């Protein structure tokens, strides 16, 4: 089994595999091109994102700067918006539903590293998916960790660190992020 397949399956894989390194370099080049376009070049910006992401549905807008690892594991729904400084470490799938709004300085991190130092130091890592439902608002400076699902109609408060899944129709805040209110 090749390392990319292990990565997608959530198994330990070698992140320094030549294929994965080349895919990350391609992605970094596209991110560089995106981030260095004038803000008036909306069509070119959209074209790069469509080339980069695995799936794009309808209209969207991503403010530079934006970074991701591979791009092909990212799927965005209709009416997706991200403010500045979005980082998506997409070693596993990161799926956003329709009408998702993301504040500035947010990160979605599928990558994880073994707790055992010897395994971690060998270059092995793993990744777990992130799913964000429909009609979700994520405040600024939010970190979403591996293996998290945020349900439909949620609001995640600014500065939250989302380490566990959040049920639909809730407001959740904090570090670690927890539900404080039903909507």
CATH number at residue 133: 2.160.10.10
Number of domains within the chain: 1
* CB 177 within 8 Å of CB 169: no
Helix (H, G, I), strand (E, B) or coil at 81: strand
> For 127-179, what is each residue's pLDDT tens digit?
999 999 999 999 999 999 999 999 999 999 999 999 999 999 999 999 999 99
pLDDT digits (tens, 9 = 90+) for 4-55: 999 999 999 999 999 999 999 999 999 999 999 999 999 999 999 999 999 9
Which residues are annotated as catalytic?
113
CB atoms within 10 A of CB 57: 14
Grouping H, G, I as helix, E, B as strand and the rest as coil, residue 46 is helix
Distance from C-alpha of 103 to C-alpha of 72, rounded to nearest angstrom: 22
Nearest one of 52, 49, 105 to 82, comparing CA atoms: 105
Give the residue numbers spanning the domain of 57: 3-182
């Amino acid at each position: 089994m090749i390392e990319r397949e292990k990565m997608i399956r959530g198994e330990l894989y070698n992140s320094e595999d030549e294929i994965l390194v080349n895919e990350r370099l391609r992605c970094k080049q596209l991110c560089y091109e995106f981030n260095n376009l004038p803000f008036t070049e909306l069509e070119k910006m959209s074209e790069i994102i469509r080339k980069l992401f695995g799936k794009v549905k309808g209209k969207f807008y991503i403010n530079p700067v934006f970074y991701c690892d591979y791009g092909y594991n990212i799927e965005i729904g209709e009416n997706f918006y991200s403010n500045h400084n979005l980082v998506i470490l997409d070693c596993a799938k990161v799926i956003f539903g329709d009408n998702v709004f993301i504040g500035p300085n947010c990160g979605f991190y599928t990558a994880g590293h073994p707790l055992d130092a010897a395994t971690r130091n060998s270059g092995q890592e793993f990744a777990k998916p992130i799913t964000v439902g429909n009609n979700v608002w994520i405040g600024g400076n939010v970190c979403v960790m591996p293996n998290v699902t945020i349900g439909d109609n949620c609001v995640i408060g600014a500065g939250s660190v989302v380490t566990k899944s959040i049920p639909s129709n809730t407001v959740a805040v904090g570090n670690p992020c927890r539900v404080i209110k039903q909507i």
